[in-house]
Amino acid sequence: MEMNFDYVVVGSGLAGLYSALCASRYGKVGLVTKADVTDSNSYNAQGGIAAVSGKDDDPEYHFEDTIVAGRGLCDYPAVEILVNEGPALIHDLMEKGMHFDVTESGRLALGLEGGHHRRRILHAGGDATGKFVTSFVLDLVRKEKNIEIIPHCALLGLLVTGDVCDGVRCWNSGTSSEYLIYGKNVILASGGAGAIYRRTTNPDTTTGDGIAAAYNAGCKVEDMEFIQFHPTALAKEGAPCFLISEAVRGEGAWLLNLEGERFMLGAHELSELAPRDVVAQNIEAQIRKEGKGYVWLSLRHLDPEKIKSRFPTIYARCREYGIDMCDRIPVAPAAHYTVGGVCCDENGESSIRHLYVCGEIASTGIMGANRLASNSLIECMVFAQRAVRDTLKQSGEDHSGHIYREEFHLSPENEEFYRHVRKEVSDIVSEDAGIVRTGEGLEKGLAGLEQLQRELQARSAADPGEVCCRMAENLLTVALLVIRGALARKESRGCHFRADFPEEHETFRIHTVQQAGRDIAGIPVKDKI
């Protein structure tokens, strides 16, 4: 099957939807997504969107908080863009009819989250911001005649000739066939890779396919060692690893060990609202000490009515599993956000022409070594708009006009093999590239992944072009990028903690860059505006 568009957008999270919406003004858009259109991290986002709107706030303060959380690895120009361009896009969204929560006096209700020194988090539906914002943008997308949504169609690879991207190669699980989808410009917005871990807040589809496809096509990928673990996800046997938003701590919830002590008090000046890496590492240390697999998030001292109205989704989900949120919740960290990703410029353009990345897949340099809470939804919008604007500068003449052949088929007997690789990969990264890492553990993890690669090669050789093998290969590529990045970074910084190198080192104030066929390299941070 072949399709042709002016823009091919991959992914229906906020980055993909907003890119498609912006692009639809300039041409025909094919919006390809792996599962249902609402399946995304964006839809599950709870806390909110960080954008300056309060009188006591200023983009400069937002900049400062972002830089502090990023621990020396934020690219300053990118952060400047984010904090300065974000508020206008929020304003525009509200002009179009998006309702964020307001106070009794009708002002925007601004939340506070870890690492922010001002209330600047807009939220909607209490703790259902992602659902409200993505649904709102999806409605706009659905009204656009120029956009065709192609669900259940998973990106497997990119169509690239020389240094020009012509489109994407996908597998449609509905029709069980390959789709070659050509586009004058391709925007990859297929999200991060949190779901390669065992405990994750991400949906099952978030396996970093776009990162693997870009890497395999020759793009540079950077800082993949920085996987942010959210400190507080529900930790009850038989219950899903549901996120308990940072905003809950923003409203005053305490973290208690099993003795009932507030262990964050002595650990950081912001106690429970310290940056996520600090909170996650402290929880992990408590869990290792106490051996029960969780600590308590206690809300006993807070007003129950306020909790129920501010966090209706979390309250209801906890109740489903017999937990009273107004009392205390068992929590433990879970893989949450992929800080690194595909290298790009300040417009999201990768090193391959006509190939853009946007949202969690992209390494814009905004997050540095650790994402500041609620900075990612706004990143999706700011950089979607910039990517589309940038495409207008490109001339259509660069295109190779190359025609590609279909390459893939499905052998159902390999589905079991894919599940095997997925399980092994999640065990390896969870055990060897989790919150606390060591050189020895990472080497062991690397050896495990290489062994899986050998198994895969044998199977692929016996059945070339088999789609489960390609999906397994993409999974292994992403896991290898994480482990190799973590091995190369012999220091601890942000959300990358090495027990054998527990300090931060100036020599590692660099981005780790990986490119197929080359040794891992370090490039300097852009800290000049």
Ligand X SMILES: Cc1cc2nc3c(=O)[nH]c(=O)nc-3n(C[C@H](O)[C@H](O)[C@H](O)COP(=O)(O)OP(=O)(O)OC[C@H]3O[C@@H](n4cnc5c(N)ncnc54)[C@H](O)[C@@H]3O)c2cc1C
The DSSP secondary structure of 241-257, one letter per residue, reads: --B--HHHHHTT-EEE-
C-alpha dihedral sign at 499, 502, 507, 508: positive
Using alpha carbons only, give the angle 80, 129, 149 rounded to the nearest 5 degrees.
90
Nearer to ligand X, 45 or 287 (CB): 45
Q: What x-and-dash track marks residues 354-383 binding ligand X by CB under 6 A?
A: -----xxx------------xxxx--x---
- Please report, as a single letter, which amino acid is at residue 225: E
Closest CA to 382 of 100, 28, 77, 172: 77
In the complex, least distance from residue 79 CB atom to ligand X, rounded to whole angstroms: 15
Residue 185 in the binding site for ligand X (CB under 6 A): no
Say how many CA atoms lie within 13 Å of 324 toward its Cβ. 7
Is 276 annotated as catalytic? yes
Tell me which residues in 226-255 interact with ligand X (CB under 6 A): 243
Q: What x-and-dash track marks residues 287-316 binding ligand X by CB under 6 A?
A: ------------------------------
**Displacement of CA 470 from its chain's centroid (Å):** 22
The DSSP secondary structure of 83-145, one letter per residue, reads: HHHHHHHHHHHHHTTPPPPB-TTSSB-EE--TT-SS--EE-STTT-HHHHHHHHHHHHHHH-T
Residue whose tokens read 């993909």: 16
d(CA 15, CA 475): 22
Q: What x-and-dash track marks residues 117-156 binding ligand X by CB under 6 A?
A: ------------xx-----------------------xx-
Q: How many residues bind ligand X (CB under 6 A)?
A: 44
Q: Please, which residues have CB within 8 angstroms of residue 62's CB and are 6 or more apart in sequence?
A: 50, 51, 52, 83, 116, 118, 120
**Which range of residues in 99-107, 198-206, 412-420, 487-495 is near ligand X by CB under 6 A?**
198-206
Nearer to ligand X, 175 or 451 (CB): 175
Nearer to ligand X, 24 or 190 (CB): 190
Nearer to ligand X, 12 or 363 (CB): 12
Residue 385 in the binding site for ligand X (CB under 6 A): no
In the complex, least distance from residue 66 CB atom to ligand X, rounded to whole angstroms: 12
Tell me which residues in 26-65 interact with ligand X (CB under 6 A): 32-35, 39-42, 44-49
Tell me which residues in 318-347 interact with ligand X (CB under 6 A): 336-337
CB of 474 within 8 A of CB of 213? yes
Q: Name the active-site residue from 71, 199, 276, 437.
A: 276
Which residues carry out catalysis? 276
Q: Give contact residues for ligand X (rule: CB under 6 A).
A: 10-16, 32-35, 39-42, 44-49, 129-130, 154-155, 189-191, 201-202, 205-206, 209, 243, 336-337, 359-361, 374-377, 380
